[in-house]
Amino acid sequence: MGKFARLNHQSRSEVSRLLLVTTNYWPEPTGIAVYTTDLAESLTVAGHQVTVLTSLPHYPWWKIPAEFSHLSEGKSSHHGVSVIRANHLVPPKMNALLRMRFEISLWWNLRRVSKRLLGNDFDSVMACIPTVAAGIIGRKIAHQCGIPFGLIVQDLSGAGAKQSGLRGGAVISKVAHFVEGKALHGADGLVVVSPAMRDVVVGLGVPQSRVTQINNYSAREISSSDKDLARSRFDWASDDFVVIHTGNMGAKQDLENVVRAAMALHVGSRIKIYLVGHGNQESKLKELCEGKENISVLPAVSDEDYSALLSAADLLLVNERSTQMEMSLPSKLTSYLYSERPVLAAVPRGGATWKFLDGVAELVEAGDPVALARKIEELSGHPEKLGDLARRGREFAVANLSPEVGRKKYLDWVEGLIASR
């Protein structure tokens, strides 16, 4: 736990017992799990006794990988955190019906396992959404125990389903809005991860005094290394202009837009685009990229190789569906900006990601593959601009996305919850 070395241990006569309910946790390598795992472990280092009620590892693969089959339902421990997992349905793809079945399965099984294994000896309960089931279960446990309930809003399923392009999204959006509202209004304190998310939550009637903004921070340790040395690990040519997109390959990432942009690049360019990760659109993307020399789909890399992967890039890419206006920020942004590599974002103008990156990244309108292709080509011929973008991104990350600052803010928020009893 060396990464928490700067976090002050708390001296208290009584250990505070905390429950975190979240669908995503270690060993999931990307997305919300990175932050919930870091939160639980940093609170443990700070002197709290933390239990996590969670699911089986399934994201972003939408299956349970064979290497994690030993993490079955029941109790275990990881880095000082007590982890209780529940078995549940994992749909191989996502539409409105399967999303509802997924949420119902999570709710039923987290509830079942909590009754059997959890107990009620806690000082505070936290839940992390967008998974509606986690918010409802967390609120129920806190209410039954008569203890404070804190909600960490990484995303909102109601807005997300409507904007993601899933078939039947409007129906699930209405159901999710209603159920999410119960968790939002039942929380004693809420954390949001962007100003846009704060506006949405307050707009839903949550008192502003209950809402705290804490930016997602770089929970992974990111170090920049020599580009050519990093490329040698992946057997990539040193004279190619390498563009990398990492993370989930789902509907809201709309990576077909990137494939179309690759097809719009001028013939003979040395531009190579790598889509690195997993997700429910992975197979489709592999089919679309088959036979194309300038774009490839690659599996996610280990934490040990992630810094090298970013260092191997000339340009790091964010891509969002054109309707993603009120969603939370992509978790990859913190690592991208810390890596001291330039960032290009094809995202909705005026949306949360656009506002967050304005001034520190190059921006193009979402859903316009030709504009994206031309911007990549433009940047490939301007090393000075790339260097300026890399510097600005790193300076912004150090000033605003520091893990030390983020962990301290969460610690203060949690201890404020406990004190509100």
Residue 282, pLDDT score: 93
Residue 352, pLDDT score: 85
Which CATH architecture group holds 2-217+402-419?
A: 3-Layer(aba) Sandwich (3.40)
Identify the bridge partners of residue 389 per DSSP, sorted by sequence position: none
What are the tokens at 352? 């949360």
Residue 180, pLDDT score: 77
Name the nearest CA neighbour of 247 among 342, 171, 170, 330.
330
Q: Where are the domains of the chain?
A: 2-217+402-419, 227-400
Residue 9, pLDDT score: 46
268 DSSP assignment: T
Give me the residue label for tokens 């997305």: 31
What are the tokens at 126? 């936290």
In whole angstroms, what is the distance from residue 177 CA to residue 200 CA? Answer: 12
Strands 295-298 and 124-129: unpaired
* Single-letter amino acid, residue 114: S
Name the nearest CA neighbour of 88 among 127, 57, 116, 67.
57
In whole angstroms, what is the distance from residue 420 CA to residue 152 CA? Answer: 17
Residues of the chain below pLDDT 50: 1, 5-6, 9-13, 161, 163
Three-state helix/strand/coil letters over 283-324:
HHHHHHHCCCCCEEEECCCCHHHHHHHHHCCCEEEEECCCCC
- Please give the span between the terminal C-alpha atoms of the chain, in angstroms, as a whole number: 30
CA distances from 54 to 145, 214, 274, 297 (A): 19, 22, 32, 30
DSSP track, 143-159: HHHT--EEEEES--HHH
* In contact, 93 and 62? CB cutoff 8 Å: yes
Instruction: Establish how many alpha carbons lie within 13 A of residue 35's alpha carbon, considering only the half-sphere containing its beta carbon.
Output: 30
Identify the bridge partners of residue 191 per DSSP, sorted by sequence position: 152, 212
In whole angstroms, what is the distance from residue 53 CA to residue 340 CA? Answer: 36
Which CATH architecture group holds 227-400?
A: 3-Layer(aba) Sandwich (3.40)
Is it true that 2-217+402-419 and 227-400 share their CATH fold?
A: yes
Name the nearest CA neighbour of 364 among 351, 349, 383, 352.
349
Name the nearest CA neighbour of 321 among 241, 254, 258, 373.
254
Q: Which residues contact 50 (CB under 8 A, 6 or more apart)?
A: 18, 19, 20, 40, 43, 44, 80, 81, 82
In whole angstroms, what is the distance from residue 119 CA to residue 125 CA? Answer: 13
What are the tokens at 146? 């008569």
In whole angstroms, what is the distance from residue 43 CA to residue 409 CA? Answer: 11
**ω before 195 within 30° of 0 (cis)?**
no
Radius of gyration, alpha carbons of the chain: 21
Long-range CB contacts for residues 169-174, cutoff 8 Å, separation at least 24? 169/96, 171/96, 172/96, 172/99, 172/100
In whole angstroms, what is the distance from residue 39 CA to residue 93 CA? Answer: 29
Measured at the CA of 341, the angle between CA 340 and CA 347, to 5 degrees, comes to 120
Give me the residue label for tokens 């928490």: 4
DSSP track, 55-104: E-S-TTTTS--GGGTTS-SEEEEETTEEEEEE-----SS--HHHHHHHHH
Residue 420, pLDDT score: 83
* In contact, 171 and 99? CB cutoff 8 Å: no
What 3-state class would DSSP assign to 11? coil
* In contact, 81 and 39? CB cutoff 8 Å: no
What are the tokens at 386? 């790339």
